[in-house]
Copies of this chain bind each other. A is one copy, B any other.
Amino acid sequence: MLFSLRYSCITATSAENPQCISKGEMSKGETTRQQIIRKSAPVFNQRGFAGASMHDIMQATGLEKGGIYRHFETKQQLAAATFRYSLDQAIQARIGDIDPRATALAQLCLMVHAFAERPSPVPGGCPLMNTAVDADDTNPELLQLAREGVQSWKARIVAITCGGIQSGHIRSDTNPIAVANLIISTLEGALLLARLEASREPLEDACRSLTAHLESLAAPRP
């Protein structure tokens, strides 16, 4: 409840032209724009803002510079759009199919498992971590987007936890924010480790640990 506003805000910023998607109709230019974003997303996600050149974007999209710059005024704007897209994709892949009618703990467990099991839909790893690290100290705009992204994710977890407390499934002495911090920290950290070691093991360990922790939050049956 407390965070519903913030959460809705992220969906608004991350969805590119939702009305077009819902209508299923797009103008020629809008289609191209979406294609550019889709094709550019891996480039930025893998190489970072400074490491991705417009030449790379040209190759990835198959368009010439003139064609790209018609749809985005600057590389910065393109990077921002691709980040929103990448984040949106990552969110959809991980929490898109969580049943809101399930128990709060079940929802959280599902979120953790989905995160641990499904690789990032956009090549290059978690866009949130990538952008946070890449943009820190150099690109305030992108950093702000990453900030908003993580806050909305956090808000989502807090909202579910609060719901669980209210419905009596989660112990009332639980701190929702600490739960969110722990889940996100452990998952993102495990992702980093898994990337470096090229192994799924850290993710599985994180998943196990978080699941155990979540179960310990269950309210005792009356």
Check B47–A137 contact: CB distance below 8 A: yes
In whole angstroms, what is the CA distance A51 to B193 when docked?
24
Bin the interface of chain A by size: 35 or more
Check A138–B46 contact: CB distance below 8 A: yes
Check B181–A150 contact: CB distance below 8 A: no
Copies of this chain present: 4
Check A133–B138 contact: CB distance below 8 A: no
Q: Is the interface of A mostly helix, strand, loop or mixed?
A: helix
A182 at the interface (CB under 8 A from B): yes
Chain B residues, CB < 8 A from A186: 182, 185-186, 189, 206
Check B189–A205 contact: CB distance below 8 A: no
In whole angstroms, what is the CA distance A130 to B187 when docked?
17
User: Which residue of chain B has the shortest Cβ distance to A179 in the bound complex?
Assistant: B205
In whole angstroms, what is the CA distance A202 to B196 when docked?
23
Q: Mark A185-208, 1 if CB is under 8 A from B, else 0.
A: 111111111011100011001101
**Cross-interface CB contact of A51 among B48, B132, B195, B213, cutoff 8 Å:** B48
In whole angstroms, what is the CA distance A22 to B46 when docked?
41
Known: A133-B130, A181-B205. A196 touches B50 (CB 8 A): no
Check A209–B197 contact: CB distance below 8 A: no
Check B129–A192 contact: CB distance below 8 A: yes
Check B137–A133 contact: CB distance below 8 A: no
Chain B residues, CB < 8 A from A209: 182, 213
Known: A188-B189, A193-B188. A46 touches B129 (CB 8 A): no
**Cross-interface CB contact of A192 among B48, B143, B185, cutoff 8 Å:** B185
Check A181–B195 contact: CB distance below 8 A: no
A105 at the interface (CB under 8 A from B): no
A146 at the interface (CB under 8 A from B): yes
Q: A147-201: which have CB < 8 Å to B?
A: 147, 150-151, 177-178, 181-182, 184-193, 195-197, 201
